[in-house]
Amino acid sequence: VSQKNVEFGAVDRWFPLDLELGPDETAKLLTEQFRPRRRSKVFRAFVELVASMPAQILQLESDGVTMVQAWTLLGGDGSELDPIAVAWACTVPHPAGCTPGEFVDVLLPDVSPEGDLRLYQPMDLQPLDTPLGQAHRLRARFASDTPHGLVVREAIRIFWLFPGEEVALVFQVPPLDDLPLAADVAGALTELAEHTRPV
């Protein structure tokens, strides 16, 4: 699995971010693509924020995890630069013959019933039919204690395990503490997965 043999389709509210472009090039692309309908100060701040995302996402590469593609989710109908979430596609290595349930442990290694990070509600793992084959969507809410009280975040992943391979394709967003937003993002990410096909 790599960028070469997977095609990510275009979905209205997801604006693709090229991981190979630098912040200045991304900013230029954004100002060409969007008109500032909000106050220009806010628009410039949004451009700067989105342009800084590819570099931040590339920093998350580790232990064989390779970034393939990134997107930002836009609010409203996606016609304005109003970023409400960010997502990326990456490849994640796993043991041969790994089941979807076992792969969840690979994705969320820190979650345990007694640990600092524990499940707040039962995990939701659903199969998903896509042009690229069967995928699974994981939604897991986990809780952690902070000096100022409980924090609950939702992790969202969509992943494809390919028979005979030891690398999975994963769509991912950062953990979200705004759960209504997480529901919106999960729906949008599912749509993105349904537009992902083999080349």
Q: What's 181's DSSP letter?
A: H
Annotate each residue in 102-141 with x if it binds other proteins (CB under 8 A) or - if it does not, as one string. ------------------xx-------------------x
When asked if residue 146 is in the footprint of other proteins (CB under 8 A), the reply is yes
When asked if residue 46 is in the footprint of other proteins (CB under 8 A), the reply is yes
Least distance (Å) between residue 150 CB and other proteins:
5
Least distance (Å) between residue 100 CB and other proteins:
24
Cα 2 from Cα 8, distance rounded (Å): 11
Q: Residue by residue, what is the 3-state secondary structure of 159-178?
A: EECCCCCCEEEEEECCCECC
When asked if residue 49 is in the footprint of other proteins (CB under 8 A), the reply is yes
In this structure, are residues 132 and 196 in contact, taking their beta carbons and an 8 Å threshold? Answer: yes
Q: Which is nearer to other proteins, 9 or 60 (CB)?
A: 60
**Tokens 């979430």 -> residue:** 85
The total number of residues written for the chain in this structure? 199
Annotate each residue in 166-195 with x if it binds other proteins (CB under 8 A) or - if it does not, as one string. --------x--xxxxx-xx-----------
Question: Which one, of 162, 5, 153, 9, lies nearest residue 71 by Cα?
Answer: 9
**Tokens 């969509």 -> residue:** 158
Q: What does the binding site for other proteins look like in residue numbers (CB under 8 A)?
A: 38-39, 41-42, 45-46, 49, 53, 56, 75, 82-86, 120-121, 141, 146, 148-152, 174, 177-181, 183-184
